[in-house]
Each structure stands twice: as structure tokens, then as C-alpha cells.
Amino acid sequence: MTTYLLVTIVLIFTMINFVIMANENCIRTFSGIDDALYVIGGKWRLKIILALFDGSSRFNEIQRVVAGISAKVLTTELKHLELNSFIKRGTNETTVTHYELTDYSQTLRSVVHALHNWGKAHREKIKATIQVV
């Protein structure tokens, strides 16, 4: 009886430890995703980054390219992206302010391309599903 109880306790602790380790791995995975979404998530941030992939732009040019964004929201998003080292704000000889991507933001190119490809594939899948129904 004592051996049975001891084996049962060991098995329970092993299972608990396994669940805790699996949960920690899951939390670490979500933590990385949470960090990424905090920085580039939302309706506008990736669109702003995309608008700057071709080179530096002035505020009004960015606002024109990112259709529907208000000046207030664009200002907030630009500050957020600057604080997270994705863009830098600069001025030229005539003190005209412009925004450009940092070298660090180039690390997003593969992410953006992957999202673009996945989005296109998803749209086609949905279209095919709708046509079947």
C-alpha cells in the first residue's frame, strides 16, 4: 500500500511538473507574440511602416498614403514607432520635418512579406468558400 501511494504521489508530481513546463513554454511563446503585437499591432502602425519603405516622407505625405488616418492619430503612432526605434524624425536644411525608417525597421520586411502572402492566400480561400456556398 505504501509503495502504491508513493508511486501515485510521484506520478502526480511528474504530471504537475509537465503541465507547469508546458504552460511556461506557452507563456514564453505568447510573450514574444505580445511584444511584437504591442510594437507593430493596431490598425495603423504597419501601414505607416509600409508607407516609409520607399524612403523618407513628410507628415502630410504619410497621412495621404495611409488613407483614413487623422493627424492626431498619425502623430501618436509616429511617436510610438520612434520610441520603439522603427522610425527616426529628422529635418533638412530648410527645417522641414521628415520621417524615415531606421536600419532596425528593415527586420520587419520579411514579416510584412509573410503577412502579405498569408493575407492574399486567406482572401482567396474565403472567396472560394463564398463561391461554393
Q: Which of 103, 118, 116, 115 is nearest to 36 (CA)?
A: 115
Q: Which of 47, 49, 45 is nearest to 37 (CA)?
A: 45
Q: Is 128 or 28 the better-scoring residue by pLDDT?
A: 128
- pLDDT above 90 coverage of the chain, percent: 49
pTM confidence score: 0.71
Q: Which of 8-17, 36-45, 49-58, 94-103 shows the lowest mean pLDDT across its residues?
A: 8-17
Q: How confident is the model at residue 96 (pLDDT cuts 50, 70, 90)?
A: confident
What is d(CA 115, CA 88) in angstroms, rounded to the nearest whole number? Answer: 24
